[in-house]
Structures are given as structure tokens and as C-alpha cells.
Amino acid sequence: MLRTVVAIERDGLDVRVLSLQFDVPNAEFDLKDAVCKASTDYCKTPDGKRTYKYNCSYFNWADFAMSVPQEFCEKYGFKRIDTIVSDIEVDWDEQLVDDSQIEDDDEEGFDEEED
């Protein structure tokens, strides 16, 4: 079963979004707990300790995505899917319809609800 985690960082008006996709055994699987355990195990290794110390004893979702090898995930029953979850970025408020392509309501025969 595929699960997607969206990690969001807000800094004032700046927003960064990281999407991660995982293969988990079932819907009841506690993915957050498993990621924490895999991250903790990784941070006990020499490479993990360096990353943890470099980040002032802090290890977040971005660190997990960039650093934790797959074998740590598999030990806790899940797999990180290392493919791009999204290949385009869009503006939420982007206009998707060209106004000039929409006919006037009267011409189309659109009836507004009557009160």
C-alpha cells in the first residue's frame, strides 16, 4: 500500500513542501513511528551521528529523506519510494480557464437558480 507524507516548513511568508512516498504493509501501519525508529537507528551510525551533530542535535523529515538508507526503512517494515512524487510545481491560485473561451451565460442557456 502506498502512503504519501507531505512535510511543510513555514518561515514567515515562505513555505517549503517536501513530498515523500512510502510502501507500507497496510493502512494500520504506524508510518511516523517507523520513520522515527529508522531515523534513530541511523543516527547511531557514524554517518548519522555526524548529520545529527551538524544539525545541532536535530533530525527532521528532510534529513530523513536525504540521509537514511533504505535498509533502515526495511528493518522497520516499510520502503521509501525513491521516485519523484511530483514533477511539476503549480500555483494554487493559477487560473486554469481562459475567459475568452467561456461563452456568456445567456448564450449558453445557463439557468440560474430561482429564489
Express each pLDDT in 80-108 by its tens digit: 998 766 667 777 778 888 888 887 765 55
Express each pLDDT in 4-63 by its tens digit: 998 989 899 988 888 899 999 999 999 999 999 999 999 999 999 999 999 999 999 999
Question: Which secondary structure element, helix H or strand E, spans residue 53, and what is its range?
Answer: helix 46-54
Cell 493559477, residue located? 94
User: How high is the pLDDT of residue 86?
Assistant: 66
Q: ∠72-35-51 over CA atoms, to 5°?
A: 70
* % helix, strand, coil for the chain, step of 5: 35, 20, 45
Residues contacting residue 16 through CB under 8 Å, at least 6 positions apart:
8, 9
- Please name every residue paired with 3 in a beta bridge, in sequence order, or none if there are none: 22
pTM of the full structure? 0.74
